[in-house]
């Protein structure tokens, strides 16, 4: 392909197509992406098909129970997130007409968030708001909830899918990361046409325990009236990765922490699970009756932009001029 053709291809990809693809890839379902984006399923499907035709590659594999990201899709997903975040930062910088902000924001994070989600967003936030200091505190979910209620924290970035019903807290989901089966390339289930929890239950299973992962997984196992054949429990994601890659067991974990290789350089595959397995939802939580500082509001708004690319997950029904401008931009 000539450089001229590459330029023509790039110019025909819209931010809307990228945003719809990222939403579908992260939720694992076209239907859920449509709900989050407040558009029809057909609009999401059409945008992704147009994107695939433009880049001449299949980005998502369709299945009866959802979609899974292909190898090409995984590469495009990483770049797509960066593009949306860069545009969001540009919009945010333009909107900062009142001058720079100063202050301190006390942010609580859980283990998964601090290790696999927040660092890249924190660096971008610091570049956009050099006058705001972020003080990070890592703790389990229940400790963060108490700290929010007690006023010791301004915000928490955590697994809101684990958040207990607390009348004093409110939360907002930023990212829904699908859970899939992790397994070694030579595992028999890689050749199965479809994979169900009943199939997984017949093989040695590696159970992650950090961030209440064990309790979350046992809920969907119990709902299916099944129990995994657990051979190893660990709080280390890397230990799970090594065990799975080495063929010593299989695991069900989210796309957020998935990497195709273990530390030993062994390959890890993923498969869509046909049964209903809840996503791992990461979001913001804060005390409901407390007015946040300008610095805290800036951090909250930035995270909305950085993750979704366009602000809150569900835009209002009325005409959104920012959304119109986004669709008009071609890259």
| DSSP labels, 216-279 | HHHHHHHHTT---EEEEEES-HHHHHHHHHTTS-BEEEEGGG--SB-TTS-B-EEE-BSS----
236 within domain boundaries: yes
Residues 232 and 264 in one domain: yes
Total count of domains within the chain: 2
52 within domain boundaries: no
pLDDT band at 313 (very low <50, low <70, confident <90, very high): very low
Q: How far is CA 64 from the centre of its chain?
A: 22
Which is more confident, 5 or 182?
A: 182
CB 163 within 8 A of CB 171: yes
Residues 146 and 287 in one domain: yes
Average pLDDT value for residue range 50-79? 89
Residue closest to 266 by CA, chosen among 170, 207, 183, 327: 183
pLDDT band at 26 (very low <50, low <70, confident <90, very high): confident
Residues 235 and 254 in one domain: yes
In whole angstroms, give the CA distance from residue 302 to residue 300. 5
> Residue 115 sits in which domain range?
100-177+280-309
119 within domain boundaries: yes
pTM of the predicted model, to two decimals?
A: 0.66
Lowest mean pLDDT, pick from 89-93, 200-204, 259-263: 89-93
148 within domain boundaries: yes
Residues 110 and 241 in one domain: no
223 within domain boundaries: yes
pLDDT band at 97 (very low <50, low <70, confident <90, very high): low
Average pLDDT value for residue range 83-110? 78
Measured in residues, the chain has a length of 331
Residues 293 and 157 in one domain: yes
| Residue 148 confidence (pLDDT) above 70 | yes
In whole angstroms, give the CA distance from residue 119 to residue 240. 22
79 within domain boundaries: no
Average pLDDT value for residue range 8-37? 80
Residues 122 and 166 in one domain: yes
Residues 160 and 297 in one domain: yes
Angle at 34 between CA 16 and CA 95, to 5 degrees: 45
Residues 171 and 191 in one domain: no
Average pLDDT value for residue range 151-160? 94
39 within domain boundaries: no
26 within domain boundaries: no
Residues 124 and 183 in one domain: no
């Amino acid at each position: 392909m000539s450089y001229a053709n590459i330029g023509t291809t790039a110019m025909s990809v819209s931010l809307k197509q990228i945003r719809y693809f990222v939403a579908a890839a992260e939720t694992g379902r076209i239907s859920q992406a449509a709900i989050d984006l407040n558009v029809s399923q057909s609009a999401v499907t059409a945008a992704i098909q147009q994107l695939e035709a433009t880049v001449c590659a299949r980005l998502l594999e369709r299945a009866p129970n959802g979609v899974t990201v292909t190898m090409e899709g995984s590469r495009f997903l990483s770049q797509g997130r960066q593009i949306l975040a860069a545009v969001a930062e540009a919009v945010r910088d333009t909107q900062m007409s009142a001058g720079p902000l100063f202050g301190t924001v006390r942010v609580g994070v859980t283990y998964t968030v601090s290790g696999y989600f927040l660092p890249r967003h924190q660096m971008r936030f610091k570049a956009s708001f050099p006058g705001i200091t972020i003080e990070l505190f890592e703790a389990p979910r229940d400790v963060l909830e108490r700290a929010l209620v007690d006023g010791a924290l301004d915000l928490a970035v955590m697994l809101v899918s684990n958040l207990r019903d607390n009348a004093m807290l409110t939360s907002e989901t930023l990212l829904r990361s699908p859970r899939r089966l992790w397994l070694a390339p030579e595992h028999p289930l890689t050749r199965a046409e479809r994979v169900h929890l009943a199939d997984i239950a017949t093989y040695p299973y590696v159970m992650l325990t950090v961030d209440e992962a064990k309790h979350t997984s046992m809920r969907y196992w119990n709902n299916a009236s099944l129990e995994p054949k657990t051979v190893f429990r660990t709080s280390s994601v890397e230990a799970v990765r090594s065990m799975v890659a080495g063929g010593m067991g299989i695991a069900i974990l989210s796309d957020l922490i998935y990497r195709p290789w273990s530390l030993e350089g062994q390959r890890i595959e993923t498969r869509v699970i046909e049964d209903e397995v809840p996503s791992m939802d990461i979001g913001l939580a804060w005390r409901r009756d407390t007015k946040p500082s300008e610095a805290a509001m800036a951090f909250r708004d930035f995270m909305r932009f950085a993750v979704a690319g366009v602000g809150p997950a569900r835009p209002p029904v009325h005409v959104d001029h920012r959304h119109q401008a986004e669709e008009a931009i071609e890259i």
